[in-house]
C-alpha cells in the first residue's frame, strides 16, 4: 500500500497544481455580503434564501435559520459537489451558525429539508485574491457525478462490510470467508479517492508488508490472514471487525469532502489499473484468499466509471483516444469474463488456479488498457 | 501512441542532426542536448572505448581509434536493414512480440508508427514529442532514459515470424499466401529443451548499440507504443558480442573463454553477403517478392553449463573446440587466422563440424551475444550464448549445420538449446515514406 498511497498523494498534488495554474482570472469587484461578512441563510420546506450571492473570499459566516417544518441541513459545495462545510440536524424554528474558510470561486449553497436528496441550491461567488477556476461545466458535471458514485459506493459498502464483520464476530469462519471479498468491492472501485484519506487507508486496507514500524495491523487483510491462513477467528479479530466498521463509517462520512478534479479523476482511473498491474495480476493483494479477480474487476469498473463520466469531453478533445479506451475496456471485460465462476462466493475463480500463461494474458490486457488510460488526464486538462 | 508529429523526421537518420533538429522544431534530441559533433561524440567515444579497454586488456587491446565512431549514428534507411552486416555493437536487447490485435489496419498502423520511432531513435532523437517539455498532466512520449546519450550506433532490425502468416490454421492478416518457403518452422533438433515462453513470436526487434541503456530504451519505447496491439513474448539482453563482422578487429570470446567467429562473414565482403545472406531479387519472385534484399534470422538461446566447463581440463576444452584457448589457432596451427586442417581435429570438434568445408561451403552470418541472467535458483550461472544467425535460406544455412552439431558436437555435453525462434527479415526501409513490412502488406 505504501507506493499506492504516495501515488494518490501525487495525483492530488498534481490536481492542486492544475487548479493554481488555471486560477488567475477573477477580479475582486468589491461587493460585500451580509452584515460584517455574514451571509444570512433562510431555509424553509421549499426554499433556501440568501442575503447575498456574492461575497469576499476568506473567513465566511453563514447564519442559518430554519423557518420550515422539517429538520434541515445546509451544505456549501465547491464545483464538482465537494463539500466545503455542512451542518446537519437543524431543527424547525432553530438558528445556527456555520463558518468556513472559503477561497475565491464559484460555490453552491444547498438547504436540504428533511435531510434528503440534492437539496434546494443557490449559486454563489466568493471573489478576491487567488480567484476562481473557470472550468468546462461538462467537467464540473463529471466531477459531481463521480463524487455521487463514490458516495454510493461507500454507502453500499457499509452493509456488505457489516455482514462480514458480523460473521467474524459470530466466529463463523465459513460465513466470513464468503462475505470477505464482497465487502471490499465498493472500496476497490473507488480506491484512489478512498486512499486520499491518508489516515483511513492504512487502517482498513494495509497488507502485512505495508506496515510501518510500531503500526498495529488492522483491517481487511489481517482478517483475511486469520480466516484463510490460521483458519480461526481470535478475540482480537472480533474487535478488529468492529474497528473496520468504525473506520469505514469514517470514510463514508468524509468521502464527500475529497478533493476531486477532472484530472484527478482521470489519473485515478489510471491508478486503478496500476493497482491491478502491480498487486492483483501478481496475486499479492489477496495472497491468502486468492480473491484477486474480484478486486481486479472492481478496479476496472471504477476506472471505467470515471472514464464514462469524462467521455463527453474526451470524445470531443481526442476521439481516437476515446475509441481506443472503449475498445480496451471491452477487451479487459471479456478477459475477466473468462474467469467467472458461478460456484465461487464472489463470482470469480480463485486466483491460485489461474495459470502463468493466463496471468500473462491478463497482464497484457492491463497494459493495453492502462497505456491509453494514462493519456486521459491530458485529454481532460487541455479541454477548451 | 496517438501522437503524430507530422514531420518527415525519418530523413534525419542520415542527415546532420542539428539541421534535423531545427527542421522538426520539437523537443530536444539527445544529440542537441549534448552538442552534436562536440562533447557528446567525444564522450561516447571515450566511454565506449573505456568499456572496450576494460574488457580486453594487454595484448587483446583494440587498435587505437577503432572506437572513434562508437557514439555515432548508423543510417536507418537503405537497401538492407542495419544491424545485420553492419559492424557488431557491444550490446543487445532482443525482443519477440505476439501480435494481440486481429485487425490488419491496426497492425499496419503500428508498423508505421514503429518505423517512425525507430528512425528517430537510431538517429539519437527522442520518440514523438520527447521526454520533457510536454503537457504536465500527461506521461511523456519518450521514456527519457536515453536523454543526453549519443546515438551509440543503435540499430533496430525488424523480423516477422511464421505465426504472423498463419496461427492455429488461421490466416490472421490475409498474408498466408505470401509466407516465403524459406521461412520454415524449425525442426526439433536432438538435445533441444525448448521453453515455449522463450521461443517463437510473431514479430521481433533486434536492438544493438554500444550502450545497453540505448538498446533497452529502444525496446522499451517500442513495446510501449505497441501495447494493445502487440505484447512482449520474451526478450533477451546480451553483452560481449560473440562474433564480429569486422575481421580486422579482435575476435571476441564467448563465455567458455574461446574466440568465436574467426571466419565469420565480413560486413564488407559484399560478394559473400550476396551469396550467403541476402535474398536475391531473382530468387524472391511473385508472392515472395517482398523479401528481395531481406534475410532470414535464427535466434537460439543456448544455455552454457559454465561450472562443469570450468572444471574441464584445458586440453579437453581445446580439443572440444578444435582451437587453442590463448591465440585461437586451429589445431596444429600457430595463428588464429591460419587455415584450419580439419582432419587434425577430433571428429566431434566444434570447429570441424561447423566449418563451411564440412557443410558444402554454406556460411551463415553470426551476430550472437553472451548473456548472463543472474543465477538459476540452484546457484548456477544462468549464462550462455544468445545465438543470432542471418542467412539467405534457413534450409541451407542453420538447419543442416545444427543437425550436424546437435548429433555429434562434443560441446553438447556443456550446452543446451533452451529457446528458439525464426524470422523473415524484410529488406531495408528505403525512405521516409517506407515502413517495416510495407511490401508484404501492399
pLDDT of residue A134: 66
Q: Is B370 helix (H, G, I), strand (E, B) or coil?
A: strand
Q: Could you give the C-alpha distances from A177 to A11, A219, A279, A288, B37, in angstroms and in order?
A: 34, 14, 21, 11, 67
Instruction: Inspect the interface and report whether the beta carbons of B224 and A371 lie closer than 8 Å.
Output: yes
The pLDDT, as a whole number, for residue A117 is 86
Average confidence score pLDDT of chain A: 87
Question: What's the confidence (pLDDT) of residue B263?
Answer: 82
For chain A, which residues lie within 8 Å of any Cβ of chain B, measuring from their own Cβ? 14, 17-18, 263, 267, 318, 320-321, 324, 328, 356-357, 360, 364, 367-372, 374-375, 377-378, 380-382
Q: What is the mean pLDDT of chain B?
A: 85
pLDDT of residue A29: 36
- Torsion over CA: B194, B195, B198, B203 (sign): positive
SS3 A40: strand
pLDDT of residue A155: 96
Q: For chain A, what percent of residues have pLDDT higher than 90? A: 70
- Return all residues near B174 (Cβ < 8 A) that are at least 6 apart: B104
Question: Mean pLDDT, to the nearest integer, of B258-269?
Answer: 87
Tell whether the model's pLDDT for residue B40 goes beyond 80.
no
At A18 the pLDDT is: 37
DSSP string, A197-242: STTTHHHHS--GGGPPTTPPP-SHHHHHIIIIII-S--HHHHHHHH
Which residue from A313, A301, A378 is spatially nearest to A140, judged by alpha carbons? A313
Helix (H) or strand (E) holding B158: strand B155-160
Residue A57, classed as helix, strand or coil, is coil
Q: What gap in Å lies between CA B162 and CA B180, rounded to an integer?
A: 9
pLDDT band at B283 (very low <50, low <70, confident <90, very high): confident
Model confidence at B113: pLDDT above 70: yes
Which has more confidence, A239 or B362?
Answer: A239
Q: Residue A86's pLDDT is what?
A: 86
What is the pLDDT averaged over residues A116-133? Answer: 79
Positive or negative, the CA dihedral A59, A63, A68, A72 is positive
Name the pLDDT band for B264 (thresholds 50, 70, 90).
confident
- Whether A203 contacts A219, CB under 8 Å: yes
Please, which pLDDT band fits residue A295 given cuts at 50, 70 and 90?
A: very high
Torsion angle (degrees, nearest 10) of CA B162, B165, B170, B173: 150
CA angle B177–B181–B182, rounded 5-degree value: 140
Residues A367-384, mean pLDDT to the nearest whole number: 87
Query: Which pLDDT value is given to residue B48?
Result: 35
Secondary structure of residue A275 in the 3-state scheme: helix
Chain B residues within 8 A of A314 when measuring between CB atoms? none
Query: Distance, in angstroms, between A89 CA and closest chain B CA?
Result: 41
At A304-358, the pLDDT tens digits run 999 999 999 999 999 999 999 999 999 999 999 999 999 999 999 999 999 999 9
Do residues B201 and B52 touch, judged by C-beta distance below 8 A? no
Residue closest to A224 by CA, chosen among A181, A171, A195: A181
Q: Which residues pair with B209 in a beta bridge?
A: B91
Identify the pLDDT of residue B363: 92
Q: Among B319, B294, B301, which Cα is nearest to B430's?
A: B294
Residue B28 has pLDDT above 70, yes or no: no
Residue A16 has pLDDT above 50, yes or no: no
Residue range A50-97, pLDDT digits in tens = 999 999 888 888 999 999 999 999 999 988 888 888 888 899 999 988
The percentage of residues in chain B with a pLDDT greater than 70, rounded to a whole number, is 84
- pLDDT score at A133: 56
Pick the closest to residue B159 from B283, B267, B281, B296 (CA basis): B296
Q: Out of A17-31, A203-217, B155-169, B283-297, which region has the weakest mean confidence (pLDDT)?
A: A17-31
Exposed/middle/buried for residue A295 (C-beta within 10 Å: 0-12, 13-18, 19+): buried
Closest residue in A to B100 (Cα) is A364
B296 C-beta neighbours (distance < 10 Å), count = 26
Sign of CA dihedral A378, A382, B2, B7: negative
Binning pLDDT at 50, 70 and 90, where does residue A136 land?
confident
Contact B293, B394 (CB under 8 A): no
Residues paired with B365 in a beta bridge: B390
Residue B30 has a pLDDT of 58
Query: What residues of chain A lie within 8 A of the CB of B231, using their CB?
Result: 360, 364, 367-368
C-alpha cell of residue A41: 441563510
Q: Which residues of A touch B220 (CB under 8 A)?
A: none
ipTM: 0.78
Q: What are the strands of the beta sheet with A54-56, ordered from one edge?
A: A54-56, A120-127, A105-111, A72-78, A82-90
Each residue of A168-179: pLDDT tens digit?
999 999 999 999
Tell me the pLDDT band of A36, cut-offs 50, 70 and 90.
Answer: low
Of A324, A370, A377, the CB nearest to B137: A377
Q: Are B333 and B326 in contact (CB under 8 A)?
A: no
Q: What is the pLDDT of residue A103?
A: 86
CB contacts, 8 Å: A17 with chain B: 136
* pLDDT at B352 exceeding the cut of 70: yes
Q: What one-character-per-residue DSSP string does B275-295 give?
A: HHTSPPTTTS-GGGGGGTT-E
pLDDT confidence tier of residue B18, bands split at 50, 70 and 90:
very low
For the stretch B382-399, pLDDT in tens is 999 999 999 999 999 999
pLDDT of A245 higher than 90: yes
Amino acid at each position: 500500500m505504501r507506493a499506492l498511497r504516495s501515488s494518490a498523494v501525487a495525483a492530488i498534488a498534481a490536481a492542486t497544481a492544475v487548479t493554481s495554474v488555471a486560477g488567475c482570472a477573477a477580479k475582486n469587484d468589491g461587493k460585500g455580503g451580509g452584515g460584517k461578512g455574514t451571509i444570512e441563510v433562510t431555509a424553509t420546506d421549499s426554499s433556501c434564501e440568501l442575503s447575498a450571492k456574492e461575497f469576499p473570499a476568506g473567513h465566511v459566516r453563514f447564519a442559518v435559520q430554519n423557518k420550515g417544518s422539517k429538520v434541515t441541513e445546509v451544505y456549501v459545495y465547491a464545483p464538482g459537489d465537494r463539500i466545503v462545510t455542512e451542518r446537519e440536524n437543524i431543527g424547525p424554528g432553530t438558528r445556527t451558525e456555520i463558518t468556513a474558510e472559503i477561497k475565491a470561486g464559484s460555490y453552491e449553497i444547498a438547504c436540504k429539508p428533511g435531510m434528503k436528496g440534492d437539496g434546494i441550491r443557490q449559486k454563489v461567488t466568493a471573489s478576491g485574491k487567488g480567484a476562481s477556476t473557470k472550468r468546462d461545466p461538462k467537467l464540473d458535471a463529471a466531477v459531481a457525478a463521480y463524487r455521487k458514485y463514490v458516495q454510493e459506493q461507500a454507502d453500499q459498502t457499509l452493509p456488505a462490510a457489516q455482514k462480514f464483520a458480523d460473521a467474524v464476530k459470530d466466529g463463523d469462519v465459513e460465513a466470513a470467508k464468503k462475505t470477505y471479498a464482497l465487502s471490499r468491492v465498493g472500496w476497490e472501485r473507488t480506491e484512489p479517492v478512498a486512499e486520499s484519506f491518508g489516515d483511513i487507508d492504512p487502517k482498513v486496507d494495509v497488507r502485512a508488508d505495508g506496515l510501518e514500524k510500531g503500526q498495529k495491523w488492522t483491517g481487511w487483510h489481517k482478517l483475511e490472514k486469520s480466516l484463510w491462513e490460521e483458519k480461526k477467528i481470535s478475540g482480537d479479530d472480533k474487535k478488529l471487525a468492529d474497528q473496520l466498521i468504525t473506520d469505514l463509517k469514517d470514510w463514508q462520512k468524509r468521502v464527500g469532502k475529497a478533493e476531486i478534479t477532472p484530472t484527478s479523476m482521470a489519473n485515478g482511473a489510471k491508478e486503478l489499473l496500476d493497482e491491478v498491474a502491480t498487486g492483483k495480476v501478481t496475486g499479492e493483494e489477496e495472497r491468502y484468499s486468492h480473491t484477486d479477480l474480484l478486486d481486479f474487476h472492481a478496479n476496472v469498473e471504477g476506472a471505467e466509471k470515471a472514464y464514462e463520466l469524462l467521455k463527453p469531453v474526451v470524445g470531443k478533445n481526442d476521439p481516437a483516444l476515446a475509441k481506443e479506451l472503449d475498445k480496451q475496456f471491452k477487451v479487459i471485460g471479456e478477459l475477466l469474463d473468462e474467469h467467472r465462476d458461478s460456484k465461487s462466493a464472489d463470482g470469480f475463480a480463485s486466483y491460485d488456479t489461474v495459470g502463468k500463461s493466463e496471468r500473462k494474458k491478463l497482464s497484457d490486457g492491463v497494459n493495453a488498457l492502462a497505456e491509453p488510460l494514462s493519456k486521459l488526464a491530458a485529454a481532460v486538462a487541455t479541454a477548451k | 501512441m496517438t501522437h503524430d508529429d507530422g514531420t518527415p523526421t525519418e530523413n534525419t537518420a542520415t542527415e546532420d542532426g542539428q539541421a534535423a533538429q531545427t527542421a522538426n522544431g520539437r523537443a530536444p534530441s539527445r544529440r542537441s542536448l549534448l552538442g552534436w559533433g562536440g562533447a557528446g561524440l567525444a564522450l561516447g567515444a571515450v566511454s565506449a572505448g573505456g568499456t572496450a579497454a576494460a574488457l580486453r586488456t594487454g595484448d587483446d587491446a583494440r587498435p587505437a581509434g577503432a572506437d572513434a565512431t562508437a557514439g555515432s549514428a548508423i543510417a536507418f534507411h537503405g537497401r538492407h536493414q542495419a544491424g545485420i552486416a553492419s559492424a557488431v555493437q557491444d550490446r543487445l536487447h532482443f525482443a519477440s512480440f505476439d501480435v494481440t490485435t486481429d485487425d490488419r489496419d491496426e497492425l499496419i498502423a503500428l508498423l508505421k508508427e514503429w518505423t517512425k520511432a525507430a528512425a528517430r531513435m537510431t538517429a539519437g532523437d527522442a520518440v514523438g514529442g520527447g521526454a520533457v517539455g510536454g503537457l504536465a498532466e500527461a506521461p511523456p512520449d519518450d521514456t527519457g532514459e536515453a536523454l543526453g546519450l549519443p546515438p551509440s550506433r543503435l540499430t533496430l532490425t525488424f523480423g516477422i515470424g511464421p505465426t504472423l502468416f498463419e496461427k492455429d490454421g488461421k490466416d490472421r492478416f490475409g498474408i498466408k499466401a505470401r509466407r516465403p518457403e524459406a521461412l520454415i518452422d524449425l525442426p526439433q533438433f536432438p538435445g533441444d529443451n525448448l521453453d515455449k515462453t522463450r521461443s517463437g513470436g510473431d514479430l521481433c526487434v533486434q536492438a544493438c548499440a554500444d550502450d545497453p541503456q540505448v538498446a533497452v530504451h529502444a525496446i522499451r519505447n517500442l513495446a510501449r507504443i505497441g501495447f494493445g496491439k502487440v505484447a512482449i513474448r520474451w526478450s533477451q539482453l546480451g553483452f560481449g558480442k560473440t562474433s564480429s563482422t569486422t575481421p580486422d578487429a579482435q575476435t571476441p570470446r564467448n563465455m567458455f573463454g574461446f574466440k568465436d567467429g574467426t571466419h565469420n562473414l565480413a560486413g564488407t565482403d559484399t560478394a559473400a553477403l550476396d551469396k550467403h545472406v541476402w535474398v536475391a531479387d531473382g530468387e524472391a519472385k511473385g508472392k515472395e517478392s517482398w523479401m528481395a534484399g531481406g534475410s532470414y534470422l535464427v535466434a537460439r538461446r543456448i544455455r552454457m553449463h559454465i561450472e562443469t566447463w570450468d572444471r574441464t581440463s584445458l586440453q579437453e576444452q581445446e580439443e572440444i573446440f578444435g582451437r587453442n584457448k590463448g591465440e585461437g589457432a586451429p589445431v596444429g596451427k600457430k595463428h588464429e587466422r591460419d587455415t584450419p586442417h580439419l582432419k587434425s581435429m577430433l571428429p566431434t570438434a566444434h570447429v570441424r563440424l561447423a566449418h563451411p568445408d564440412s557443410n558444402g561451403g554454406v556460411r551463415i552470418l553470426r551476430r550472437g551475444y553472451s548473456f548472463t541472467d543472474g543465477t538459476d535458483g540452484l546457484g548456477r550461472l544462468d549464462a550462455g550464448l544468445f545465438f543470432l544467425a542471418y542467412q539467405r535460406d534457413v534450409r541451407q544455412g542453420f538447419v543442416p549445420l545444427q543437425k550436424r552439431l546437435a548429433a555429434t558436437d562434443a560441446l553438447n555435453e556443456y550446452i543446451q538449446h533452451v529457446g528458439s525462434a525464426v524470422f523473415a527479415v524484410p529488406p531495408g526501409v528505403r525512405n521516409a515514406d517506407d515502413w517495416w513490412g510495407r511490401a508484404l502488406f501492399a
